Amino acid sequence: MLRFGTDGLRGLANAELTPELVMALGRAAARVLVKPIGGPTQRHRFVVGRDTRLSSPLLQAALSAGLASEGVDVLDVGVLPTPGVAHISVMESVPAAVVSASHNPYWDNGVKFFSTSGAKLSDEVESALESELGAVLSASRAKPPRANDEVGVIEADPTAAERYTQHLLACLGERGLRGLRVALDCANGAVFEVAPRVLRAAGAEVVAVLGNRPDGTNINQACGSTHPSGLAEAVVLERADLGLAFDGDADRLIAVDALGNVVDGDRLLALFATDLVGRGELAGRSVVVTVMTNLGFHQAMAAAGVQVHTVNVGDRYVLEALDANGWALGGEQSGHVIFRDLATTGDGLLTGLLLADLVVRRGRPLSELAAGAMRRMPQVLRNVPVGARDLLGQAPGLPVWQAVKQVETELSGQGRVLLRPSGTEPVVRVMVEAPSQEQAEAAADHLVTALQAALGGKEPSGEAVSQT
């Protein structure tokens, strides 16, 4: 049985993530996340949305059927960004689910859940949901079937996209984006209609829209936040002030400045943190990041008098730290940015709006603002497909850990190394930061070789991030 990762349940659609499994998951979710139904006068509801991949309507139907079979009414919001579904969840005060595999290719799919507060589930609740799913699949906790008027009703909500749009525009207050030229890459995903609508309604001139023709198989395909090169070309060609690239479910954002330079999540966070500090509006003078955040970010925040708090990878862990301490800003290098006063999860479109607003308010090009926000430590990332990624954390005696110690000794405290199994893909992520690009690449190559020897695997993929 598939298990929950850092962002819900995910697998190969109709092979690992089958309709039968997802229907059982819907039944389990109704039992764990919704209070028992007492009759027709005590109806309970569940919000369900999806992205644009080929299998999403199939799996959304299965999930909704499972929920309805347990007596839960389903509010179908259709194609809507993940943060949009979370927002509707908060407005309705009901739990929610999104059928999406985020930045993965179209053949993968997944299901992620939100509580009635619009937040992703805690580890404890996910464990309870996994346990109940196992029980449903094995029929070990059989319950009388719902019948007659206790069967749930599935109905569409045609107002969801507009409600989400109005929420985003309200976050700008009385300010607008008039005079700003913006290019978009919607990744052929869930934001393909709402993003251009929101930017135009905010007053921006949208000069180019890429990735806005989803066909079910082209989501994230050489486009969006994981492939921003096409957007960079469009920004330069159209003389846009900035570009905004989303992933398949639009819970993350990668930006591009007018010169075609990519502005990643670390630099976005640095921009927002320093801007908020300058206005005296950064709660606790603190920001929450993950272990993947570049060392240059930590150095920039120290210089700005901002405390940095580090958690495990996953925006839900960022949110937990924010809520536990009353802080308001956090995020990940991948482009998840959480403005806790305005949203309950990472929201790429909200982040893009606020970035555009920052550029307008400051009256300076994004290239200048981003360059001044932080100085990046050279960083190399490798995604290494291996035969048994879970063994990495279960076998501390693996020779690969000796290789890690060797690299750390060579860096002498002037860089760092991180190896971790991905929670969303069958790979181990290798990250090295070092004083020079050459040193980082050499160390990463050494670790990849050691990792493949220990766990077996194929050729890695990844990127080298230069110091700018």
Q: Catalytic site residue 102?
A: yes
Instruction: Name 438's bridge partners.
Output: none
Q: So what's the pLDDT on residue 8?
A: 85
Q: For residue 304, what are its two tokens?
A: 């700005």
Residue type, 372: G
> What phi, psi does 50 have (nearest 5°)?
-155, 170
Distance CA(53)–CA(108), nearest Å, equals 9
Strand partners, 10: 110
Q: Which of 56, 64, 100, 102 is catalytic?
A: 102
Q: What is the rounded CA–CA span in Å between residue 315 and residue 323?
A: 12
- Residue 468: the pLDDT is 36
Per-residue pLDDT of the chain (468 residues; tens, 9 = 90+): 677 876 789 999 999 999 999 999 999 999 999 965 444 456 899 999 999 999 999 999 999 999 999 999 999 999 999 999 999 999 999 999 999 999 999 999 999 999 999 999 988 999 999 999 999 998 866 677 788 888 999 999 999 999 999 999 999 999 999 999 999 999 999 999 999 999 999 999 999 999 999 999 999 999 999 999 999 999 999 999 999 999 999 999 999 999 999 999 999 999 999 999 999 999 999 999 999 899 999 999 999 999 999 999 888 899 999 999 999 999 999 999 999 999 999 999 999 999 999 999 999 999 999 999 999 999 899 988 876 655 565 456 677 888 888 999 998 888 889 888 877 677 888 999 999 999 999 999 999 988 888 776 555 555 544 333
For 394-423, letters b (16+ CB in 10 Å) and e give: eeeebebeebbeebeeebeeebbbebbbbe
3-state secondary structure the chain: CCCCEECEEEEEECCCECHHHHHHHHHHHHHHHCCCCCCCCCCEEEEEEECCCCCHHHHHHHHHHHHHHCCEEEEEEEECCHHHHHHHHHHHCCCEEEECCCCCCCCEEEEEEECCCCCECCHHHHHHHHHHHHHHHHCCCCCCCCCHHHCCCEEECCCHHHHHHHHHHHCCCCCCCCCCEEEEECCCCCCCCHHHHHHHHCCCEEEEEECCCCCCCCCCCCCHHHCCHHHHHHHHHHCCCEEEEECCCCCCEEEEECCCCEECHHHHHHHHHHHHHHCCCCHHHEEEEECCCCHHHHHHHHHHCCEEEEECCCHHHHHHHHHHHCCCEEECCCCCEEECCCCCCCCHHHHHHHHHHHHHHHCCCHHHHHHHHCCCCCEEEEEEEECCCCHHHHCCCCHHHHHHHHHHHHHCCCCEEEEEECCCCCEEEEEEECCCHHHHHHHHHHHHHHHHHHHCECCCEEEEECCC
Do the Cβ atoms of 284 and 305 come closer than 8 Å? no
Q: List domains and CATH numbers for the chain.
A: 9-158 (3.40.120.10), 163-373 (3.40.120.10), 379-465 (3.30.310.50)
Token pair of 115 as six digits = 């509580």
